[in-house]
Homo-oligomer: A and B are copies of this chain.
Amino acid sequence: MSTQERKKRLELLQGTLDLLILRTLLLGPAHGHQVARAIEVNSDDVLQVEQGSLYPALHRLIKRGWISAEKGVSENNRRAMFYRLTPKGRRQLVAETGKWDRFSQAIARILRPARQESKS
């Protein structure tokens, strides 16, 4: 039963992944798998981070100087890249968070228009 596990394209809205990664790394350095898992767990499994989205995103953030990478060893004794927020990344996180807030509030205004308050 319930084989309607049909994968939906575009689980994530474009542009939000950067924000999610930056915010996750604010809690401390982590490797790729950890980042993906943290996002999934902290969103109560609503947000799924595919590997094919994750790594390109991480490389993108490195190129922009928002995070740095460093080789290390994981909890399971495997080689892993540890990613860390840079000062520039912190500033970017603040900017992106504000942008998200403004954006989502704007959508909310459309979805639930305020009354035309012609108060008295």
Q: Identify the stretch in A52-60, A67-75, A80-88, A96-104 within 8 Å (CB) of chain B at 4 or more residues.
A: A96-104
Q: Given A104-B107, A111-B23, does the pair A13, B10 have CB atoms closer than 8 Å?
A: no
- Supplied contacts A46-B105, A104-B104, 15 more A-B pairs, CB within 8 Å: A10-B15, A13-B14, A13-B15, A13-B16, A14-B15, A19-B111, A20-B107, A20-B110, A23-B111, A42-B110, A46-B103, A47-B107, A100-B107, A100-B111, A104-B107
A102's contact among B16, B46, B106, by CB below 8 Å, is which? B46
CB of A5 within 8 Å of the partner chain: no
Q: For the complex, what is the distance from the CA of A44 to the CA of B106, rounded to whole Å?
A: 7
Nearest-Cβ distance from residue A44 to partner chain B, whole angstroms = 7
Q: What is the total number of copies of this protein in its complex?
A: 2
Q: For the complex, what is the distance from the CA of A105 to the CA of B102, rounded to whole Å?
A: 15
The 4 closest A-B pairs by CB, nearest first: A46-B106, A43-B106, A14-B14, A13-B13
Q: For the complex, what is the distance from the CA of A105 to the CA of B14, rounded to whole Å?
A: 16
Chosen A-B contacts, 16 in total, with CB atoms closer than 8 Å, are A10-B14, A10-B15, A16-B107, A19-B107, A19-B111, A20-B107, A23-B110, A23-B111, A39-B110, A42-B113, A43-B110, A46-B106, A47-B103, A47-B106, A100-B107, A104-B104
